[in-house]
Amino acid sequence: MKSLLKSVKILIYSLLLVSACAIAVFAHDRIDYKQYKYNWDHNVGQYARPDVRKNVTDLTSAEKTAFVKAIKTLKTVIPAGSKLSIYDQFVAIHIGATRLIHNHKGHSNGSVQELAHENAAFFPWHREYIRRFEQALQAVDPNVTLPYWDWTDAKALDVIFNDDFLGSNGQGVTIKIPNQGNFTGGIVPGAFSAAYGWVMNPALNIDLDTNTSLGTSLVRFLKLPPATDYPVPKKDVERALALNDYSLFRPALEGFISVDEQGKVTPGGFVHNYIHGLVGGVQIDASTRPVKFKGLGTMSNIPSSPYDPVFWLHHANADRLWAEWQENGPSR
């Protein structure tokens, strides 16, 4: 176990220190910005039309195909001098910014914060992160942008988790939950299965609580109790957007608290955090204090959750809502 964790740390630290400077995808001063649509157009003396992120339910069949093709291309391209594909490097960056740079036990050692979650950096860090991923996709196909998953849209679930797009729920595992029934999940079949080239790096796809590998396959447990309700109520999102204080807005939309109309704060797992559990599946042991949460699928293992391609749609929506919050209150 220790050797696995040590090898992952070495892999990520070397990636952060070397590859981020050497690979154009990650280095701002090495990117050819001329290829991107938001660049200044000297022919007409104005900025060209910016990239537009579409609601996933509005994607055409051709746009879905192009998005999947670009993602799978990043998964297969290994830059010179690297041992990781471009896609795996993005996963490693997310891990490096979350769990491995500080004492994981208890999420903090009291003196060092996680960089990407559970603090004020959540929105700006992920905005930069998903934009760099979007630019990597556009290096494959300049017409591709990140679609967003509106969590309040009832139609989105069937559009996303379909064989013609990001694949279905997992299969092969049945979990019996007392008084609620049997629920199925497991390894995802189809385009994002190992048979079709979606093989996750076992040294990156790890449970950092136990330091064990979670294997090479994408795993989902869609709508496993307690995360059974979908869509997310619009009022939950609207209440978060109505908060003027960023120190409340961020944890409310990230999903660690809910704030009602009277300002009462309730801790729990909401909106953004809830969707991670909706896709990956979570088991809760309420008999312990603090309550223990066990993630079952890829989206529920937050450090390596970008291995599920739905991650990018999920965070494109979080970024969209933050942009709306900013636009509606410039003084914020």
**Is residue 223 scored above 90 in pLDDT?**
yes
CA distance 63 to 56: 10
pLDDT digits (tens, 9 = 90+) for 136-166: 999 999 999 999 999 999 999 999 999 999 9
Q: Which of 222, 256, 234, 263 is nearest to 321 (CA)?
A: 234
Q: With pLDDT > 90 as the criterion, what percentage of the chain qualifies?
A: 66
Question: According to the model, what pLDDT value does residue 185 have?
Answer: 97
Question: What is the spatial distance between Cα 96 and Cα 114, in angstroms, rounded to a whole number?
Answer: 10
* pLDDT 10s digits, 229-277: 999 999 999 999 999 999 999 999 999 998 888 889 988 889 999 999 9
pLDDT at 13 over 50: no
Residue 10: CB atoms within 10 A of its CB come to 11
Window from 116-125, 159-168, 309-318 with minimum mean pLDDT: 116-125
CATH, range 2-328: 1.10.1280.10
3-state secondary structure of 292: strand
pLDDT band at residue 26 under the 50/70/90 scheme: very low
181 Cβ contact partners less than 8 Å away, ≥ 6 residues apart: none
Dist. CA 328–CA 332, nearest whole Å: 9
pTM reported for the whole predicted model = 0.84
Contact between 140 and 70 under an 8 Å Cβ cutoff? The reply is yes
What average pLDDT does the structure give for the chain? 84
Q: Is the pLDDT of residue 89 over 70?
A: yes
Residue 99: which pLDDT band, with cuts at 50, 70 and 90?
low
Average pLDDT over residues 4-23: 43
Per residue in 50-84, pLDDT tens? 899 999 999 999 999 999 999 999 999 999 999 99
Residue 97's H or E segment, with its range, is: helix 86-98
Answer whether 321's CB lies under 8 Å from 151's CB: no
**pLDDT tens for each residue of 275-302:** 999 999 998 776 665 556 788 999 999 9
Give the residue among 136, 285, 296 at the shortest CA–CA distance from 223.
296
